[in-house]
């Protein structure tokens, strides 16, 4: 009778230990979810900024047609040509210098893997 009781107490303690491990795992996941959401939000903001920059450069590509037509007319010494050229090249230079490296997606992948 005593060994049966001791066996039940041992089993009960083992179940409490397993339950504590499961609770710890759920708490860890619960804490990771806001982190994953924050990384996804920041990455979306980053992608949005990149898209805006690319769109801006593409809109400046229209300036190239105007510059080419001015060159064809021999109007490349005018102030309008200089201003248009400076505007177009200045935007390209800034975007090339400030072009960020893609690293945020790796952070998201690491957190997602940890969450799984």
Q: Identify the residue with better confidence: 96 or 111.
A: 111
What's the average model confidence in pLDDT over 67-71?
A: 75
d(CA 98, CA 92) in angstroms, rounded, equals 10
18-47 per-position pLDDT tens digit: 999 999 988 988 888 888 788 878 887 887
What pLDDT shows up at residue 104? 65
Q: Identify the residue with better confidence: 93 or 115.
A: 115
pTM of the entire predicted model: 0.47
Every domain of the chain and the residues it spans = 33-115
Phi, psi of 103 (to 5 degrees): -130, -15
pLDDT averaged over every residue in the chain? 77
């Amino acid at each position: 009778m005593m060994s049966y009781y001791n066996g039940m107490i041992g089993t009960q303690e083992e179940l409490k230990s397993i339950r504590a491990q499961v609770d710890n795992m759920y708490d860890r996941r619960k804490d990771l979810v806001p982190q994953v959401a924050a990384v996804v939000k920041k990455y979306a903001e980053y992608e949005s900024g990149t898209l805006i920059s690319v769109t801006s450069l593409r809109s400046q590509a229209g300036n190239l047609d105007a510059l080419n037509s001015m060159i064809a007319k021999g109007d490349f010494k005018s102030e309008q040509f200089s201003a248009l050229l400076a505007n177009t090249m200045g935007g390209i230079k800034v975007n090339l210098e400030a072009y960020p490296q893609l690293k945020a997606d790796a952070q998201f992948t690491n957190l997602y893997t940890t969450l799984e």
